[in-house]
Amino acid sequence: MSGKQPAPEPKLRPDLYAVAMMLEPKSRVLDVGCGDGTLLRHLSERHGVDARGIELSQRGVNHCVAQGLSVIQGDADTDLADYPDDSFDFVILSQTLQATRRPRDVLDNMLRIGKHAIVSFPNFGHWRVRGQLLVKGRMPITDALSYAWYDTPNIHAFTIRDFVALVKMLGARIEEAKALDESGRPMLVNVPWGVWNLFGVQAVFKLTRDT
């Protein structure tokens, strides 16, 4: 801001990096479930974005506010309803949709509040997940889905294909999509959903209401 050279790009988690790449600079962004504010900070410092956040844990919120970020303590399931239509350019939900109580309503609200919604999520259709269930007959535990069934916050497991179906049901349009492989690299585009669904560890979608 004062004409100094920006510091080198800090290492951002691959899915957050993919999210950041889908945003337009100088836009108004709401990060739902912003955690410790890593993405918010990155967006406001590197992309000149007017970034706000919602976070459930007090620890996360206090950490964010103490860094000077605009974050409120709140719950994606209950508090999105209070935001007016079109109050943001982008509403982001990173790795959280599967942990909400009513994912459909959350996504619906995101599309209402923002001109665009960006959602990243772990893919329960990945071949390792399928393999564990098929071979061991036990609920899968992988790097991306590291919880036992009895204490997982991921109460709504879904695959990339499930998500695409929900988007269609909500009458939204996919503007951009990425699947990330096991090393966090973006996979080839222009392959059938089934390939991503089998080999994508996580996915990032940019959506908009179909008007």
Partner 1 sequence: MTVVPAGVTPTKAAIRREAEAPQSLVVSFGADKPLMMDAGVALAPVTIAYQTYGTLNADKSNAILVCHALTGDQHVANPNPLTGKPGWWSTMVGPGKPVDTERYFVIASNVIGGCMGTTGPASINPATGRAYALDLPVVTIRDMVRAQAMLVDHLGIDTLFCVAGGSMGGMQVLQWAASYPARVFSAMPIATAARHSSQNIAFHEVGRQAVMADPDWCGGRYLDEGKYPSKGLAVARMAAHITYLSDEALQRKFGRKLQSRSAPTFSFDADFQIENYLRYQGLSFVDRFDANSYLYVTRACDYFDLASDYGGSLAAAFKGSKTRFCVVSFSSDWLYPTSASRAIVHALNAGGASVSFVEIATDRGHDAFLLDDPEFSATARGFLDGAARARGLPPPPDQTPTVS
Residue 66 CB burial class (10 angstroms; 0-12, 13-18, ≥19): exposed
Choosing from 22, 33, 52, 97, the residue that interacts with partner 1 (CB under 8 A) is: 52
Residue 26 CB burial class (10 angstroms; 0-12, 13-18, ≥19): exposed
Choosing from 17, 21, 47, 65, the residue that interacts with partner 1 (CB under 8 A) is: 65
Q: Is 211 in the site for partner 1 (CB under 8 A)?
A: no
Candidates 81, 116, 97, 59; CA nearest to 203 is 97
Closer CB to partner 1, residue 18 or residue 80?
80
Choosing from 12, 17, 38, 74, the residue that interacts with partner 1 (CB under 8 A) is: 74
Closer CB to partner 1, residue 50 or residue 162?
50
17-46 mask for partner 1 (x: CB under 8 A)?
----------------------------x-
Choosing from 23, 69, 106, 160, the residue that interacts with partner 1 (CB under 8 A) is: 69
Q: Is 83 in the site for partner 1 (CB under 8 A)?
A: yes
Q: Is 57 in the site for partner 1 (CB under 8 A)?
A: no
Closer CB to partner 1, residue 67 or residue 146?
67
Range in contact with partner 1 (rule: CB under 8 A) among 14-22, 64-72, 95-103, 191-199: 64-72
Q: Is 189 in the site for partner 1 (CB under 8 A)?
A: no
Choosing from 13, 47, 77, 87, the residue that interacts with partner 1 (CB under 8 A) is: 87
Candidates 210, 208, 182, 179; CA nearest to 196 is 179
Alpha-carbon distance 206 to 25, whole Å? 15
Closer CB to partner 1, residue 86 or residue 175?
86
Choosing from 4, 9, 153, 185, the residue that interacts with partner 1 (CB under 8 A) is: 4
Site residues for partner 1 per CB under 8 A? 1-2, 4-7, 45, 50, 52, 58, 61-62, 64-74, 79, 82-84, 87
